[in-house]
Amino acid sequence: MRMSSKAKILVVEDNPVNLELFADLLNVGGYEYVNTSKGEEALEISRKESFDLVLLDIQLPGIDGLTVAKTLKSNASTKHTKIIALTAYAMKGDREMFLEKGFDGYIAKPVTMKEFLEAVEGYLKGSNEL
């Protein structure tokens, strides 16, 4: 059995089109996932369930992605969960910013199926750390 088929992923994305796309891609990859469009809800879900990976949009209504990441990384039960930023801002300097903010990596939107699944698999295996 592939490791990825057992991995559990939390997807936090407020854009419904992106959220549906990520859900479709994770289905293709055989991943188990939970999704939400709200930062508050992401934190609530994370208190009840554990995940191998959190795919986290930065711009969210209410609590934003940076705050969600900071909160998860400062909590003993979630600090080892890998957090990958879903960002439209693939700019120079982002790598340092995301590292500093506690992220383990980032995926730039828009994504292709191949890029997305390879990135998710890589982060789960620890082969493409930021």
Footprint on this chain of Mn ion (rule: CB under 5 A): 14, 57, 59
Closest contact distance (angstroms) between CB of 68 and Mn ion is 12
- Minimal CB distance residue for Mn ion: 59
Nearest-5° Cα angle at 109, 18 to 24: 35
Closest contact distance (angstroms) between CB of 23 and Mn ion is 15
Say which amino acid occupies 128. Answer: N
Residues whose CB is less than 8 angstroms from the CB of residue 83 and which lie 6 or more positions away in sequence, other chains included: 53, 54, 56, 69, 72, 73, 102, 103, 104
CB nearer to Mn ion: give 65 or 105: 65
CB nearer to Mn ion: give 14 or 40: 14
CB nearer to Mn ion: give 14 or 121: 14
φ and ψ of 79, to 5 deg = -65, -20
Closest contact distance (angstroms) between CB of 56 and Mn ion is 10
